[in-house]
Structure 1
Amino acid sequence: MIDPTVATRAAYDGIAAEYARQWSTPPAWMGAELERLAGRLPAGARIADIGCGPGHHTRMLRERGFDVTGFDLSRAMLTAAGVPGLVQADMRALPVDAGALDAVWCVAALLHVPRPEVPVVLGEFGRVLRAGGELLLSVAEGDGEGWDERAYGPSRRRWYVLHRYEALAELLDAAGFDVADHARQSTHREWLRVHARRR
């Protein structure tokens, strides 16, 4: 059986340069999220951009004065846009000390984690955040999980796990988070964005 994580990482290694060009323009909601964090955290706050890809969001967070490290499993993605200070890591076992971070930013990355492993990842987010630390989580909304080859073809298919708000909120609660609010957005997918805080 093909390991979804291994195959998805290989797909991103293969599309890294194309992906970095395609997503270099920030999404429409990005400005509001940056303003929200800037209103809650001081300059120099420590943030992990988990599943950072080529580091576009890492760079924009740094431009707001935050101390940001980007983490991604795909080595090719980490070098695709020339953003410094990105680290290869698996979000299931982050190389970060417990309670070291003020915020975790995870956009369109948890959706690649097979459903049985999602609690492990959310547990890691809780471990690395200080009490009161902020979490921004963006996932594809819906039901089920499986391979998606629409964007880059069958040789570069990626594993997608869709989430519903109620179930995700329960998992976040079990991982030690209080959910503050959530929002939805439609693009080429249906997206669910959740704001939570580490208890």
Structure 2
Amino acid sequence: MTSERMRATYDTIAASFAEQTARRPVQYEEVGRRFLALLPVGSSILEVGCGAGRDMAWLEAQGTVVTGVDLSPGMLAEARRLVRGPLLEMDMRHLDFPDSAFGGIWCMASLLHLPKAEAPRALAEMRRVLVPAGVLALTIQEGEGEVWESEAYGHPVERFFARYSRRDAERMLAGAGFLVLESERADSARERPRMTSWLSFLARAGPPATGKPPGRAAT
């Protein structure tokens, strides 16, 4: 299964990943500040795919209360060195939280590790655990298809990626009950020459799915 292979990969590369990704990309901080500005004061945040804790530590430094979940025990062990909040081993397709538990969800470069057929299920779970009008920050890779890569952070391991066009990603978000507030494209080639472009979205959870999904905000 993809999830089992990805768990093994990230357990293997956890220490190298933590060391090599310690510096937050500038675009993440820009998205993060806009994300936080959309949340009511005191909102609790769930980071889906918290990895080694870099982003969660930044969110905590902004004064927020954050819970982190990740599939990899090795990555969670690295995160515990950086963060104060709870860290839980969890599959994003099965979020073990009650409905409307969080005001915001931060999901950076995580959903892309699911096959496209399974991503809507994960987004539906994120929608479920968000309060009405809660905010999702999502970043995925731009492109087409699904691929396995054979090296990561100096290790001969396999990593799965699903890549999306902006239009397909917006349709997927709408289908899960999200209203896209803004989207942007960032090219990370200057920082990491072999890396692809990224698509970032801020989206608001619409009402429960009882008809036509919300779609996209008017501009």
TM class by shorter-chain length?
A: over 0.9
* Percent identity of paired positions between Structure 1 and Structure 2: 37
Query: How do residues 11-50 of structure 1 correspond to structure 2 at under 5 angstroms?
Result: 11-50=9-48
**In the TM superposition, what whole-angstrom CA distance separates every residue of 1:34-73 from its partner, at most 9, and x where no partner exists?**
3213322244311111001011111110111111011100
Taking only aligned residues, the RMSD between alpha carbons, in angstroms, comes to 1.4
- Paired residue secondary structure (1:116): coil
Equivalent in 183, 198, 201 of residue 191 of structure 1: 198
Query: How do residues 69-108 of structure 1 correspond to structure 2 at under 5 angstroms?
Result: 69-81=67-79, 82=81, 83-84=83-84, 85-108=86-109
Aligned pair count?
Answer: 197
Query: How big is the shift at 1:30?
Result: 2.6
Alignment partners' CA distance in 2, 1:35 and 1:119:
26
The answer for the alignment partner of 2:63 in structure 1 is 65
Bigger mean CA offset, 171-180 vs 34-43: 34-43
Greater helix percent: which structure?
1
Q: Is the contact between residue 4 and residue 158 of structure 1 (CA under 8 Å) also seen in structure 2?
A: no
Alignment of 1:149 with 2:147, yes or no, is no
Alignment partners' CA distance in 2, 1:88 and 1:32:
28
Alignment partners' CA distance in 1, 2:89 and 2:202:
25
- Paired residue secondary structure (1:133): strand
**In the TM superposition, what whole-angstrom CA distance separates every residue of 1:153-198 from its partner, at most 9, and x where no partner exists?**
7841111100111111111111111011100111121100011100
Alignment partners' CA distance in 1, 2:155 and 2:148:
9
Q: Is the contact between residue 106 and residue 136 of structure 1 (CA under 8 Å) also seen in structure 2?
A: yes
Alignment partners' CA distance in 1, 2:144 and 2:155:
22
Query: How big is the shift at 1:152?
Result: 4.4
The answer for the alignment partner of 2:165 in structure 1 is 164
Task: Extract unaligned runs of 5+ from structure 1.
Answer: none
Letter in 2 for 1:100: A
Alignment partners' CA distance in 1, 2:166 and 2:147:
19
Q: Is the contact between residue 152 and residue 159 of structure 2 (CA under 8 Å) also seen in structure 1?
A: no
Q: Is the contact between residue 13 and residue 155 of structure 2 (CA under 8 Å) also seen in structure 1?
A: no
Alignment partners' CA distance in 2, 1:162 and 1:119:
14
Alignment partners' CA distance in 2, 1:148 and 1:182:
26
Letter in 2 for 1:20: A
- Paired residue secondary structure (2:60): helix
State the TM-score, normalized to the length of structure 1.
0.94
